Copies of this chain bind each other. A is one copy, B any other.
Amino acid sequence: MKKSNGFIYLKLAENIQHMISEGVYAAGDKLPSVRSLHLEHGVSISTALQVYTHLEKKGWVTSREKSGYFVRYARQMRPPLPPVTNPAPRAGRVQINEKLAVFRKTARSEKTISLIGASPDTSLMPATKLKKALQLASRELDNSFIPYGDITGHEPFRRHIARHCLNWGRAFSPNEIIVTNGAIEAASLCLRAVANAGDTIAIESPTFFGLLLAIESLGMKALEIPTDPVTGVSLGVLEDAFKQKKVQACLFVSNYSNPLGSCMPDNSKEQLAKMLQKYQVPLIEDDVYGDLHFAPERPRTIKSYDEEGLVLYCSSFSKSIAAGLRIGWVIGGRYHEKIAQLKFMSSAATGILPQLVLTKFLDQQRLDLHLKSLRQALSMQTMQVTKAIQEYFPEDTRLTRPNGGISLWVVLPPKVNTWQLHDAAVAQGITFTPGALFSSQHRYQNCIRLTNANPWNDDQDWAIRTIGQLSQQQLNG
């Protein structure tokens, strides 16, 4: 027992040392408390204390009375943060579809190294456990998978979702939940529930192109709100838009947005929820990345502060368990009935098979364990990508510092055109997402989205080095 305990504390100390040496924790940063090491890593309080005593002896950390442990040494290796974005203050039609079609048709081979990262790499997902769950489910299967199911979803699965929501501090009844074909269907139904063609939707700037496309295909307009890469949308600008009745609804990714990785602080979420009530504006909250927090605590949601059913909460297991199962959900608040009706005519009930598999998987209570290791991997990979960008990209490159999720946003010097950069990269067998796809206003031409969704290896390193070199060539040329 003693031996294994020793192993645990040394391993943990090594991890923390590694994160310091790689700049995840900078000099002066506060480290996780002894108590949070205890809770998050499942070690005893005394083992957690041993970790810091060891690191203190080795000169990496220092303790301050009643305040905890702080970093003594760190290589300052992170590029500076991008500034708050500054989109044009007017709503406009979205026209991203054609651009996206060109992007998607770019010739790629099987050997292409993809830094697109729509979801965490398959190797990080619980494939074996899911297969076992499928086998169990198929053995116990009755005939309930034959007819159309309940339009709101399989009840035992909805019960699991309700329990899962407790993680961000709110209790729901399974009856408030509608299961969907992923969060993208959920968000699309929500848009249709709260707005019509011609209406204006407030979004983050930049915003995931899938959401822009949804707005475009429904004939709605987008109002891009200035967004801080750390704290999310500017509530001041948003409130002005509310006051001027410019906005029919909001569509935000409150936790680890795509592509910025911003996470709205909980007090801002509370403030925003109050604003929604004051101006009676509905908000669609896309929380697909909320479970992928690198720090021990799961951030809350805007929905958790919603007193009047104005927040339509969407999430899925696509980023945390398996995108291919296509299972998401929506808690629609006062729009629940309307969403159920739209769901009926959009695709009827969601298929029962993947819900049965996920129910079995969740029955085994393996989700927490899996999420813990997934988060650790994503956190480590973020650091590795960050380090490579610091090393290989042109001077004056700026980079986000996400504390969760799977996106990194790189702002290159203004002279770089990342659409051309993408063509050059594809010729070398590398693909990533150019910044222009994340705006309705032809912005972010010098930006790219990279991902921390892939395990680090020589290919990843080479790909980022190559993109860096190609950017430098554009600057020189």
Contact = CB atoms under 8 A, between A and B. Distances in A.
A122 interface: yes
Contacts of A181: 181, 347-348, 350-351
A416 interface: no
Interface in A338-393: 341-342, 344-354, 357
A134 interface: yes
Interface in A318-344: 318, 322-327, 337, 341-342, 344
Interface string A250-264: 000000000000000
Interface residues of A, number: 58
B147 A341 contact: no
Interface stretch (A135-143, A155-163, A231-239, A423-431): A135-143
A324 B138 contact: no
* Main SS at interface, chain A: helix
A373 B466 CA distance: 62
Given A101-B341, A185-B346, A146 B217 contact: no
Contacts of A185: 346-348
A127 B148 contact: no
A218 B146 CA distance: 29
A125 B146 contact: yes
A173 interface: no
A147 B131 contact: no
Interface in A292-324: 318, 322-324
A135 B131 CA distance: 11
B213 A344 contact: yes
A97 interface: yes
Given A147-B122, A147-B324, A182 B347 contact: yes
Contacts of A188: 345-347
Nearest first, the 10 closest Cβ-Cβ pairs linking A and B are A326-B351, A181-B347, A185-B347, A213-B345, A122-B146, A145-B324, A148-B323, A146-B322, A134-B138, A214-B345
26 contacts: A97-B341, A101-B341, A118-B147, A122-B146, A122-B147, A127-B146, A134-B353, A135-B138, A145-B325, A147-B322, A148-B324, A149-B324, A181-B347, A181-B351, A182-B348, A192-B217, A196-B197, A196-B219, A210-B344, A210-B345, A213-B344, A217-B345, A323-B348, A324-B351, A325-B351, A327-B351
